[in-house]
Amino acid sequence: MTSPEPDPGRDSESEGTLPLGGLTESALPSRDLPIPTSALAIVAHPDDAEFLCGGTLAKWAVAGCTIHHLILTDGSKGSWDAGADTAELIETRRNEQLRAARVLGSKGKVIMLGRVDGELTASSDVVDEVAYWIRVTEPAVVLAHDPWKRYRLHPDHRNAGWIALDSVVAARDPHFFPEHDVPHHRPSALLLFEADQPDHVEDITEYTDAKVDALLTHRSQFHTTHGIGDPDDVEQRERFRERVTEHAARLGAANGVGGAEIFKLITDL
């Protein structure tokens, strides 16, 4: 995930808005799913899962859930340096994502689909690939972007949501992509982050540090998304930790817990 480039007049170390999803002022009706046996996070870019559901994934992993990541794009637009080596950036972001998944406790697959960053479309061939991986990983819960979120700017986040939903439908029904030659699979629940109308909260009070630790493996994104001007500045990294923790605490305060991530829960799959 890459934030918009700041105004040239802004202090290079100033802190913009982190892509952590929206806030809610009132308690949500649903809280804490039973720990699933397996879960698949389908996201647009390297670092999206950590920002948007990292605490939930860490909590489930500790409890024995097999966590899988599916990253749809190669992250090749994730730099403000016009002279950056794109191939090197792609490899860097791949390695960062692998490390982040392990920090969260994931013992499952990290699938890099490799579509071009910024050019993701909800085409049949992409749905084919994602449906295949849903069938292979057999997640009880799928976590994904909410495609119905209003006024979303980034096209990859919009399209990643549609891809995930279309792929869940395709994966559950045997007459979609029968050439996969693996059994069809129907997840029990879908959790949409960045939700337009959230109705479910996951308590991540004890897992906010794990979420931040995973985010801090994405060093290539420090200057862009994280708002950390100097990667080696301990104070700036701690300010980042405080900002993520404070956001989780604000969500938690509305729901009676110390820290939270919020979602739209869909179980009619």
Q: Average pLDDT in the 232-258 region?
A: 94
- For the chain, the residue count is 269
The residue to which tokens 């929206």 are assigned: 22
| Residue 24 falls inside a structural domain | no
Which CATH number do you get for residue 134?
3.40.50.10320
CA-to-CA distance for 229 and 237, rounded, in angstroms? Answer: 9
Residue 137 main-chain phi, psi, to 5 deg: -85, -20
According to DSSP, the β-strands at 260-266 and 200-203 are antiparallel
pLDDT-derived band at 229, boundaries 50, 70, 90: confident
Name the helix (H) or strand (E) containing 171. helix 155-172
Residue 130 domain boundaries = 33-266
- Structural domain includes residue 55: yes
| Closest of 232, 198, 157 to residue 23, by C-alpha | 198
Q: Classify residue 16: in a domain, yes or no.
A: no
Tens digit of pLDDT for each residue in 58-111? 999 999 999 999 999 999 998 888 888 999 999 999 999 999 999 999 999 999
**Identity at 149, one-letter amino acid code:** K
136-140, 152-156, 228-232, range with the lowest pLDDT: 228-232
In a domain, 165, yes or no: yes
Domain count for the chain: 1
